[in-house]
Amino acid sequence: MGDHSTPRHCASNRCKFHGILSLDKPPPDMLSSAHHAKSHFLQDSDSERVRVTVRARPFMKVEEGHENEIPVVFVNPVKSTVTVRRKGSFVDYTEFKFDAVLGDSATQADVYQVAAQPIVLDVLEGYNGTIMAYGQTGAGKTYTLSDVVINETNGSRVEGIIPRSAANIFEYAANDKSHEYHISMSYIQIYMETIQDLLNPETSNLQIREGEDGGIFIAGVHEIEVRSLEDVVTLLMLGDCNRQCAFTKLNAHSSRSHAIVIITVEKKTVHSLDTRNCADRRRTSKGILVGKLFLVDLAGSERLKKSGSEGLRATEAMSVNMSLTALGKCISARADPTVTHVPFRDSKLTRLLQESLGGNTKTSLIINIAPCCDYIQETLSSLKFGIRAMKVGSRAILNFEEEFRVLNRNLQEDSQSKDKQGSDTNSQIQKGDSEVWADAKCANPVDQKGRVSERKEKIKFRKTSMKEAEFGQDLKDVSVNCREEEIREVQNGYKKHFLDELQNEKRKVEIVAGSQLMANSAAKVLKSLSLIDEFFTKK
Ligand SMILES: Nc1ncnc2c1ncn2[C@@H]1O[C@H](COP(=O)(O)OP(=O)(O)OP(=O)(O)O)[C@@H](O)[C@H]1O
């Protein structure tokens, strides 16, 4: 962050354009491997923040052969800069520096490797990720994200980021023999401030809800299991048929809605036969990692004068412009550490993308620009948007869910063995309280110095009758009334289990304990969670 993300305005004739490559592609070594892309693009010494790539498309046929072609936008993939020159001037220009810049000869594979693959790999590790295309109408957002070429004889060929991401996910899952995968997909559009399910168009105006953990989700949206790239391509095509598009002067196939594909990857450790029967299986249970990938094709901003939109088309454009303005405001607010209120609720788009704008998500933003002279104002505005976005931090945490079934079984076994010993008579938890819904959640992000940041999650008991337990905002405030021997057992069993988890995931840990637990078992879980504090404090 800091200097490199600030546009530099230069009006001095000492600055020359020598060395600036016009719309060229990065050297092959930059794109050589996924690993390379990751180390250059997403893992620098900065704290986590939104990463921004600019992609300049080539001139289209209709744009060729007139004044429009006068070069005003210069990209330099080597230096990751875009320079925009004022028409007719050689001395008045603005230079912007981004995380990566790709010119008109960059292929779809190049764009995927630089701007998408690192996020997809993070999703496969259990993080949330967002890949979002932004830019004026006709700049190439849909081409970058959704392009699929259908070849009658050989079947479909993947081109854009969405099918490539799906291909990457299925290939990764097929090669990973130590995990079981469950992959599902949803596809929605935000059209004129209503959310529509593109895979089930009968349902209209879906509602955005906030989960108990503060996460945002769409209530009632279809989540369809996908087992292959072909499944994904079929659903994409089905959704695209239902998406709102129209002819405008600026784009023959202009999107009139924001479209979002959500791919959810759940992965679970496969237990070997030995460990399945092992008495100490708590140590081998790794739970479920859940990564959500949001692929966002924003509708393009358009000036009504230029697009010639009227009637419904004009109303659609105004609705799109309004939500993009709201997005801009949220980005500006997030980029400014002194601003405390972020107006996420100003539009459906920003409410839905709340986590992608500085929340529990790793975000890659692609700024699509057109090279034409006519669009210079729109290009400048998109580039400035990208620069602001680079200042937005993020705090993605590993979405680790303790496998409820395993946890529940272990806890019940513990409880049954207690019953056998007849020690329940001493328990301070009443018999009538044994069946409660317990939903204890502890999000435990650890900062770069290894300190535990303050816990903000509430401990909630949905239908608790546990009079013995008192719960506060912070786990330190939790006091659970259980017997000495129960605590010892928790220390011996769960402490070891959770510490194993923590050591595997040194940076951040999220542990969820929930399900229809026995009351006394829930108490143990809380107690065991509180041991995590001790672990980090000692470190
Ligand atoms: N990198 C590229 N190479 C070749 N053609 C491109 C490229 N980018 C875009 N195009 C072409 O430009 C046209 C407009 O692109 P696209 O529809 O993706 O724009 P968009 O930004 O999604 O527009 P809107 O916001 O109006 O939906 C399409 O015909 C597309 O095929």
- Secondary structure element (H or E) that encloses residue 381, with its range: helix 376-389
CB-facing half-sphere around the CA of 244: CA atoms within 13 A: 24
- Residue 245 near residue 255, CB atoms below 8 Å: yes
Give the whole-angstrom CA distance, residue 489 versus residue 478. 19
DSSP states of 402-414: --HHHHHHHHHHH
pLDDT at 240: 85
Task: Answer yes or no: is 519 a known binding residue.
Answer: no
pLDDT at 475: 32
Atom 23 in ligand 1: residue holding the nearest Cα: 138
Strand partners, 246: 254
Best residue among 240, 251, 379 to mutate for probing ligand 1, ranked by most atoms within 8 Å of CB: 251
pLDDT at 363: 95
Task: Answer yes or no: is 386 a known binding residue.
Answer: no
Residue 435, both tokens:
């069946």
Q: Which atom of ligand 1 is least distant from the CA of 250?
A: 26
Task: Answer yes or no: is 83 a known binding residue.
Answer: no
pLDDT at 243: 77
**Helix and strand numbers, DSSP H then E, in the chain:** 15, 23
Pocket of ligand 1 (CB under 6 A): 57-58, 60, 135, 137-143, 251, 253-255, 299-300, 368
Task: Answer yes or no: is 140 a known binding residue.
Answer: yes
Give the Å distance between the CA of 389 and the centre of ligand 1. Answer: 22
Give the Å distance between the CA of 248 and the centre of ligand 1. Answer: 13
- Residue 147 near residue 108, CB atoms below 8 Å: yes
pLDDT at 60: 84
Q: In a 3-state reduction of DSSP, which class is residue 263?
A: strand
pLDDT at 93: 83
Residue 499, both tokens:
């510490």
pLDDT at 282: 39
Describe the crossing of helices 519-538 and 404-420 by its angle, rounded to 10 degrees.
Answer: 110
pLDDT at 153: 65
Give the Å distance between the CA of 392 and the centre of ligand 1. Answer: 27
Give the whole-angstrom CA distance, residue 409 versus residue 163. 39
Q: Which atom of ligand 1 is least distant from the CA of 55?
A: 1
Mean pLDDT, consecutive 10-residue segments, the chain of 539 residues?
A: 38 28 35 34 58 94 68 91 79 89 94 97 94 94 88 70 96 93 94 90 85 80 91 88 66 79 90 45 58 94 73 84 94 90 94 91 96 88 96 84 49 47 34 29 34 30 29 32 39 44 34 31 45 38
Q: Residue for token digits 């790999």?
A: 121
ipTM for the predicted complex: 0.98
- From 157, 167, 172, 161, select the one nearest 126 (Cα to Cα): 172
pLDDT at 66: 58
The answer for 464, left when phi > 0, alpha when psi is -120 to 50, beta otherwise, is beta
Task: Answer yes or no: is 142 a known binding residue.
Answer: yes
User: How is domain 2-389 classified at the architecture level of CATH?
Assistant: 3-Layer(aba) Sandwich (3.40)
**What's 258's DSSP letter?**
E
Give the whole-angstrom CA distance, residue 350 versus residue 345. 7
CA 453-218-147 angle, 5° bins: 100
pLDDT at 260: 96
Sequence letter at residue 38? K
pLDDT at 369: 96
Sequence letter at residue 115? A
Atom 31 in ligand 1: residue holding the nearest Cα: 143
- Residue 283 near residue 496, CB atoms below 8 Å: yes
Give the Å distance between the CA of 137 and the centre of ligand 1. Answer: 8
**Domain spans of the chain?**
2-389, 402-538
Strand partners, 296: 132, 260
Give the whole-angstrom CA distance, residue 243 versus residue 258. 9
Best residue among 55, 143, 324 to mutate for probing ligand 1, ranked by most atoms within 8 Å of CB: 143
Give the whole-angstrom CA distance, residue 459 versus residue 183. 29
Sign of the Cα torsion 355, 357, 358, 364 reads positive
Q: Which atom of ligand 1 is least distant from the CA of 57?
A: 1
Q: In a 3-state reduction of DSSP, which class is residue 260?
A: strand
pLDDT at 218: 92
Residue 256, both tokens:
């009139």
State the Rg of the chain over Cα.
26
Atom 11 in ligand 1: residue holding the nearest Cα: 140
pLDDT at 246: 54
What is the SS3 assignment for 172-226?
HHHHCCCEEEEEEEEEEEEECCEEEECCCCCCCCEEEEECCCCCEEEECCCCEEC
Max intra-chain CA distance, the chain: 91
- Residue 440 near residue 513, CB atoms below 8 Å: yes
pLDDT at 516: 28
Give the Å distance between the CA of 299 and the centre of ligand 1. Answer: 12
Give the Å distance between the CA of 64 and the centre of ligand 1. Answer: 15
Residue 307, both tokens:
């697009």
Atom 10 in ligand 1: residue holding the nearest Cα: 140
Give the Å distance between the CA of 245 and the centre of ligand 1. Answer: 13
